[in-house]
Amino acid sequence: MCYLNGRRPLAIPGSEADKVWHNHILDTPKYRRDCNDIFDGYLDHQALDGEPTKEQIAAIETTKKLSSELFDEKVMPDSITPCGCPPGGGTA
């Protein structure tokens, strides 16, 4: 979804995706290589801390819309974790 969304911020669409991301990022050299290969730069992660900002809310809404379009399913709002997407751009 981050690749398809370009440099615009997204959120992680659910706890399972968040687990996959965190397991991937633990192998930082591989994660860095994969990000460079896929996004042409590092894909940041920014955890939600407290109430979401306007930008984070917008990223969550964009993620819900893209997820519904790509996977034909709705994402529950409480399962979304804001993140930065992709390199050097703004973060959610």
pLDDT in tens, 11-69: 877 777 778 888 898 999 999 999 999 888 888 877 777 788 898 888 888 888 888 88
pLDDT band at 74 (very low <50, low <70, confident <90, very high): low
* In-domain check, residue 46: yes
Indicate the number of domains in the chain.
1
91 belongs to a structural domain = no
Q: Can you give the residue range of the structural domain that contains 58? A: 10-83
pLDDT at 33: 95
- Residue 1 inside a domain? The answer is no
| Cα 49 from Cα 68, distance rounded (Å) | 26
pLDDT given at position 36:
92
Sign of the CA dihedral running 47, 85, 3, 22: negative
* Residue scoring higher pLDDT (24 or 83): 24
**Residue 29 lies inside a defined structural domain of this protein:** yes
20 is a domain residue: yes
Residue 53 lies in a domain: yes
Task: Examine the pLDDT at 1 and tell me if it is beyond 70.
Answer: yes
Could you tell me if residue 37 is inside a domain? yes
3-class DSSP string for 42-65? CCCCCCCCCCCCHHHHHHHHHHHH
* In the chain, beta strands by DSSP E: 10-13, 80-83
3-class state of residue 18 by DSSP: helix
- Decide if 4 is inside a domain: no
